[in-house]
Amino acid sequence: MSPEQLQLLQICPSIDLQLGGPSRVIIDSARFIDSKLNHELMIFGKQEGNEFPFQVSQIDTCFNNRFGFVIRPLSKESKRHIRESNIVLSHGFYVFTTLIAAYYRKSKPLFIMPHGSLEEYQEKKSRIKKILFRTAFNFLSRHKRIVFLVASQTETVGIRNGFPKAECKVVGLGVNNFQMEVNIKSDPKPDNLTLLSFSRIAQKKRIDISIEAVSILIQLGYKPKLLIAGSGDLDLLERLKRQVASLNLENNVFFIGHIPENRLDEIFGQAHLLLLPSENENFAIAVSESIIRNVPVIVSDQVAMSAFFCEYNTGVVIQNLNAHDLQNAIIRALENYKILIGNCEMNSYLLGWNEVIKNWHLALELEK
């Protein structure tokens, strides 16, 4: 059967770019996968106004929840699509859509992209609920071929521990680099340094460390500006704002909220360095967005993309999550800024969907 005759069905809960990377991956990968086969996207919940060049079916969920809990049983047409499509790719793991896909998928394989939800770091949270969910999933998926698709090698550990009989393939994640504008910046100076935090507002992102690092840089004679882009935990956002006030950084740190895709070039165009001292990242789409715009990055060694920096020297990796190490890394990056910029420019093509989608085609068995 030729690729043009194959039917791919992707299944996901609500798509909302403010929820972070998974929604962006679903939207952008879908556009590229569509060039290979007949494609449909089944969304359980809200679509948030995204436009797609292929068929999209939207299924209402109870109180518009974003976990895929449906109001009523699926239609015969939806059930048939899940059973009979040549390829079914379900996004997320601890969501109701995973159980729906596992139940209705019969003789053909089910591909699942967990988006980091099965990493050991994440498994420590809500353990009882997750044990119950996995028990239900194991029952529904018994005697079926399950293939997990993951963004990085670090994700394979949790999957192999929890699902030793399932297949696991590393496919990577890409970023949309059509019509992208890359601004050529002058070298940052001590009195002209713009840092960017671009992520969900979540505890594990350790935005507090970036804020404290700005305070230390000021003590060393720098005049940095930190832009904090993203939305999320409102209580944490208020705590971060209080931290800024307590350190007298109101003229240095700015909370700019969620940034839509059409403003990414503008925001990254202002930045000299991206900061992500996170406790855990199975990939980090923002890092790729930064590198393809020639903005070097500073991340913790808990960010899976840190392996890319070590190989291609596009940023600095810190081993300890504290503001002094982050501040030192910023200064090292500034000392080697031209080298880092050049390496970003030379190797950024590896992170675009044009390149990454080749791995997806192989993993989904479109090509042998």
* pTM as predicted: 0.83
Q: Does 260 map to a domain? A: yes
Q: What is the mean pLDDT of each run of 10 residues along the chain (368 residues)?
A: 69 74 75 73 78 77 84 90 93 93 93 88 79 94 94 88 91 74 64 92 95 97 95 94 97 94 89 94 87 94 85 93 97 94 91 89 78
236 in the same domain as 119? no
Q: Residue written as tokens 């507090």?
A: 208
Q: How far is the C-alpha of 97 from the C-alpha of 113, rounded, in Å?
A: 12
Question: Rg for the chain (alpha carbons), in Å?
Answer: 21
Enumerate the β-bridge partners of residue 169.
149
Q: How far is the C-alpha of 120 from the C-alpha of 332, rounded, in Å?
A: 31
Q: How far is the C-alpha of 49 from the C-alpha of 33, rounded, in Å?
A: 20
335 in the same domain as 215? yes
Burial 224-255 (b: 16+ CB within 10 A, else e): bbbbbbbbbeeebbeebeebbeebebeebbeb
Residue 205: CATH number of its domain: 3.40.50.2000
359 in the same domain as 342? no
Q: Does 33 map to a domain? A: yes
- Find out whether 47 and 16 touch, Cβ atoms under 8 Å: no
Please tell me whether residue 175 adopts helix, strand or coil conformation: strand
Q: Does 73 map to a domain? A: yes
75 in the same domain as 62? yes
204 in the same domain as 164? no
Q: How far is the C-alpha of 367 from the C-alpha of 363, rounded, in Å?
A: 8
Please tell me whether residue 155 adopts helix, strand or coil conformation: helix
Domain range for 309 is 193-351
333 in the same domain as 250? yes
Instruction: Report the side by side order of strands in the sheet with 167-170.
Output: 55-59, 38-44, 7-13, 87-91, 110-113, 146-150, 167-170
Q: Does 226 map to a domain? A: yes
201 in the same domain as 162? no
- 29, 210, 283, 320, 342 from 300: Cα distances, Å: 26, 12, 12, 7, 22
Task: List strand residue ranges (DSSP E) for the chain, in order.
Answer: 7-13, 38-44, 55-59, 87-91, 110-113, 146-150, 167-170, 193-198, 224-229, 253-257, 273-276, 297-300, 315-318
170 in the same domain as 24? yes
Please tell me whether residue 178 adopts helix, strand or coil conformation: coil
Q: Residue written as tokens 């699902």?
A: 163
Q: How far is the C-alpha of 99 from the C-alpha of 93, rounded, in Å?
A: 9
In the chain, how many domains are there?
A: 2
- Find out whether 188 and 337 touch, Cβ atoms under 8 Å: yes
Q: Does 179 map to a domain? A: no
